Structure 1
Amino acid sequence: MIKLIASDMDGTLLDGNGGISPYNVEMINEAKKRGIHFVIASGRAYTDILPVTQQHGVECACVTGNGAEYIDEKGELISSCYLGAKEAIGVIEILKALDIKFMIYTTDNRYSIEAVENVQDAFIQRSLHKDKTQTYEEVKERLKTRHSIFRMEEVEDYHSLLPTKKIIKIEAFDIDTSKIEEAKKRLSALGNVAYLSSFPDNVEITHSDATKGKILLKAATLLGIKEDEVMVLGDSFNDLSMFELFENSVVMANGEEEVKKVAKYITEAYDEDGVGKAIKRWVLE
């Protein structure tokens, strides 16, 4: 019997408009009525998750920053694993050397070590590279309401700032995927860091113990829930740590092929109520 459901957000729970479909909300709430815990497990920071869940009336626990934090339904921090300042500075030096744009997520803000507009422009160009049906301004307006890159502050002396902050992750991106691959090679030489890509053109860096799977396992244990009583849903490589630890794994039809090879089940795509249908099929019936 499933007692806890954990779902990724982007490419999984959210629809094409960046919201949670009525059917997904209905199935989540039905599961909760039956005493089943629901958790969002995302690479996003908590402050980027909360507006979405509040908009759709979904009260749930959250795994943030790909495993940096576990925050319960009431917004209380239960477990954390932040990236150390020394390690973060080492990551930044690698990204600077390769001229890769990035943003630093902390528990209280988002930071850039160069002009914010430059990083925002690179992020917009990345979106345009993937979808050429929209104009630059259309992409910019869409992202302004959905992405924290437009709520970012420039900082010059990051050597002094970072030791005073709780660092969730560093997210880097470049349309030149060869630069991302080179960054991964160099990151592999650093200690106490983990890195993964949600897409070929990005890399997200966290503490080595900050994975969705590890922190979700810790939370389930605290709740007295066994591994085989957990169902996890996702679409990309940052979900693999959950799929490797929990046998009841569900990948979206739009998911990465490598992830599909690991998953136990395949559900409909993110824009076809895949999460809700998976809950109905494998939890509620």
Structure 2
Amino acid sequence: MDGTLLNSRKQLTDRNSDALDRCIWHGVKLILATARPPRSVQALLPGDLLASCDLVYYNGGLCEYGQGVVRHHSLSADLNKSILDYALTDKGAKLSFEVRDRWYTAYEIDYRSLGATAEPERLDVTALECLEPTKILISGAPDHQGIIDRFGSQANVLVSDAGQLVQIMAPQASKEAAVVEICGHYGIPLREVMAFGDDYNDVGLFRLCGHTVAMMNGIEELKRLATEVTSANDDDGVAQILEKRWGSL
């Protein structure tokens, strides 16, 4: 969503919306894969579009597809406590925890900088240690390499937002794993999948899908992997590609 389908104002433009509608009209299966939680996606996108999509939230930590299939992956409480204890040694780091569409923290957080529309609920550190999070977020220019070195073999650790945000999910949670599962459910070969993206959490998808489209505003690594590069998210880059394939409304 962010940096790809939505513009920099976090809006779905009419042109992008029309292009998606055209795909649906042609019977194209749409999978919306995002780092965002369900409540945020529902606040930003129209309900009729969401009803037509299979949905991957939290970079694959939670997905909903088919006729009511729900798959949830969480970090264990023990691993959560270890990550929390380690991250607290970095005085500049701010931690928050997503648990099945509920957001918790012990700190005052600039929630708008994280793309959120409301503040997280406050819990003390002892209560946070007992959680089994769908996703841990560490903001404030954390020691991301130290986190990767320490926990990368036990969790899926992603660095995004130009190194300002670390996102930690269960090891089996990723956009690409979710898309593989959903496509397997429908019998869709990955070579027939077109994927759009802009950041590091899209790299795995780009290595698997048959046709990949990087946004002009995306990271260089993704552009190198891509089948093609489209215009920036503020220039309706997604719609430009879909219109070539399906026409415009």
TM-score by length of 2: 0.89
1 or 2, which has the higher helix percentage?
1
Q: Provide structure 2 residue ranges, at least 5 long, that are not aligned to the other structure.
A: none
After the TM superposition, which residues 184-199 of structure 1 pair with which residues of structure 2 at under 5 Å, given as runs? 184-188=148-152, 191-199=153-161
Q: Is residue 80–residue 129 contact of structure 2 (8 Å, CA) maintained in 1?
A: no
Aligned residue number for residue 247 of structure 1: 210
Q: Considering only aligned residues, what root-mean-square deviation do their CA atoms show, in Å?
A: 2.1
Query: How big is each residue's C-alpha offset from its partner over 1:4-60, in whole Å with a ceiling of 9 and x where there is no partner?
Result: xxxxx0000001221101010001011001111112110011111112122785532
Q: Distance in 2 between matches of 1:12 and 1:239?
A: 11
Q: Provide structure 1 residue ranges, at least 5 long, that are not aligned to the other structure.
A: 1-8, 128-142
Q: Is residue 37–residue 101 contact of structure 2 (8 Å, CA) maintained in 1?
A: no
Q: Could you tell me which amino acid in structure 1 is paired with residue 183 of structure 2?
A: A
Structure 1's 197 and 230: CA in aligned 2 closer, same or farther, altered over 3 A?
Answer: same
Aligned residue number for residue 26 of structure 1: 18
Question: Which one of 93, 96, 109 corresponds to residue 102 of structure 2?
Answer: 109
* SS of structure 1 residue aligned to 2:168: strand
Q: Is residue 144–residue 159 contact of structure 2 (8 Å, CA) maintained in 1?
A: no
Structure 1's 10 and 196: CA in aligned 2 closer, same or farther, altered over 3 A?
Answer: same
Q: Could you tell me which amino acid in structure 1 is paired with residue 246 of structure 2?
A: L
Q: Could you tell me which amino acid in structure 1 is paired with residue 122 of structure 2?
A: E
Q: Does 2:130 correspond to 1:174? A: no
Q: CA deviation at 1:187?
A: 2.5
Question: Which one of 209, 219, 222 corresponds to residue 256 of structure 1?
Answer: 219
Aligned residue number for residue 224 of structure 1: 187
Query: How big is each residue's C-alpha offset from its partner over 1:60-100, in whole Å with a ceiling of 9 and x where there is no partner?
Result: 221110111211377x4432322222222221111111231
Query: How big is each residue's C-alpha offset from its partner over 1:201-224, in whole Å with a ceiling of 9 and x where there is no partner?
Result: 111000111010011111001011
Q: CA deviation at 1:265?
A: 1.1
Q: Percent identity?
A: 24
* SS of structure 2 residue aligned to 1:17: coil
Q: CA deviation at 1:184?
A: 2.5
After the TM superposition, which residues 18-57 of structure 1 pair with which residues of structure 2 at under 5 Å, given as runs? 18-54=10-46, 57=49
Q: Is residue 99–residue 134 contact of structure 2 (8 Å, CA) maintained in 1?
A: yes
Question: Which one of 112, 116, 125 corresponds to residue 147 of structure 1?
Answer: 116
Structure 1's 78 and 229: CA in aligned 2 closer, same or farther, altered over 3 A?
Answer: farther
Query: How big is each residue's C-alpha offset from its partner over 1:127-164, in whole Å with a ceiling of 9 and x where there is no partner?
Result: 5xxxxxxxxxxxxxxx7xx515x33111123267415x
Q: Is residue 25–residue 58 contact of structure 1 (8 Å, CA) maintained in 2?
A: no
Q: Distance in 1 between matches of 2:50 and 2:28?
A: 13
Question: Which one of 80, 89, 95 corresponds to residue 97 of structure 1?
Answer: 89
TM-score by length of 1: 0.79
The number of aligned residues is 243
* SS of structure 2 residue aligned to 1:11: coil
* SS of structure 2 residue aligned to 1:66: helix
Greater RCO structure (CA 8 Å; 6+ sep): 1
Q: Distance in 2 between matches of 1:155 and 1:65?
A: 21
Q: Distance in 2 between matches of 1:232 and 1:196?
A: 19
* SS of structure 2 residue aligned to 1:36: coil
Q: Distance in 2 between matches of 1:154 and 1:266?
A: 42
Q: Distance in 2 between matches of 1:108 and 1:211?
A: 17
Q: Does 2:150 correspond to 1:158? A: no
Q: Distance in 2 between matches of 1:255 and 1:278?
A: 16
Q: Is residue 25–residue 56 contact of structure 1 (8 Å, CA) maintained in 2?
A: no
Aligned residue number for residue 140 of structure 1: none
Q: Distance in 1 between matches of 2:34 and 2:196?
A: 11
Q: Is residue 155–residue 168 contact of structure 2 (8 Å, CA) maintained in 1?
A: yes
